[in-house]
Amino acid sequence: MADNPPGYELADRMALTEPAQVKAIGHPLRTTILQLLHERAATVTELAAAVERPKSTVAHHVDVLARNGLLQVVRTRKVRAIEERFYGRTARLFFIAAEPASVGGEVSGDFNDFEVAARESATAFEEGRLWGFIRHARISEDQASEFWARMAELVEEFDRLPRSGDTVYGFAIGVYPTDYPALPASEAADPPR
């Protein structure tokens, strides 16, 4: 397998600025297709076999992703009299930069990486093979943004790992505001003991 997957040229990052782009990645099968293409370019036939769905269904979802600029044909080959297309991602990392008011439409609320991660990780949890942490910190928005930028670098490193082994591992991270309780400012001026 490629040492630096997926083995074809693509941008490092792509901002999703159109509601249709965000909606396109909101479907679980499309998210799976995008994840599979992190490893290498693939044909609709290969993708359909991997996800165990009909070729027509997979072709429809590939078309939606391609029309919205998330997939591209990275090479072709002749198989008998038919030209077979290999699809690849247009970027290693897609991030949502759409704001409904500025782009004139509604952004899909269907896309939630943590919902996908929770669903995917259920079996690993049951088998005692789920590694995870959750922490809370009262920090500024700027600090949260700086921390997120560092985590995005880690995600990119994970995406570029050489493909080996027999198990596909998921990696989910996030930084989000909560209504988690916080202690009030201390009234005592006494130093901690």
Closest to 96 measured CA to CA, from 170, 57, 148, 133 = 148
Count how many Cα atoms sit within 13 Å of the Cα of residue 68 in the half-sphere of its side chain: 23
- Contacts of residue 160, defined as CB under 8 A and 6 or more positions apart, other chains included, come to 4, 5, 92
Exposure pattern of 11-33 as b/e (b: 16+ CB <10 Å)? Answer: eeebebebbbbbbbbebebbbbb
> Cα(168)–Cα(187) distance, rounded to whole angstroms?
51
Q: What is the pLDDT tens value at each position of the chain, 193 positions in all?
A: 445 678 888 888 888 888 888 888 888 899 889 988 988 999 999 999 999 999 999 999 999 999 999 999 999 998 888 899 999 999 988 877 744 444 444 444 445 666 667 777 778 778 888 777 777 788 888 998 898 889 888 888 887 888 888 888 888 887 778 776 666 676 765 555 5
The confidence score (pLDDT) of residue 2 equals: 43
The confidence score (pLDDT) of residue 121 equals: 76
The confidence score (pLDDT) of residue 33 equals: 93
Q: First-to-last CA distance in the chain?
A: 57
- Please list the alpha-helical segments (H only) found in the chain: 19-24, 28-36, 44-51, 55-67, 100-103, 113-126, 141-159
> Cα(24)–Cα(76) distance, rounded to whole angstroms?
24
> Cα(62)–Cα(33) distance, rounded to whole angstroms?
8
The confidence score (pLDDT) of residue 74 equals: 95
The confidence score (pLDDT) of residue 3 equals: 52
Name the token pair of 70: 């998330």
Is the separation of the CB atoms in 119 and 41 below 8 Å?
A: no
The confidence score (pLDDT) of residue 79 equals: 83
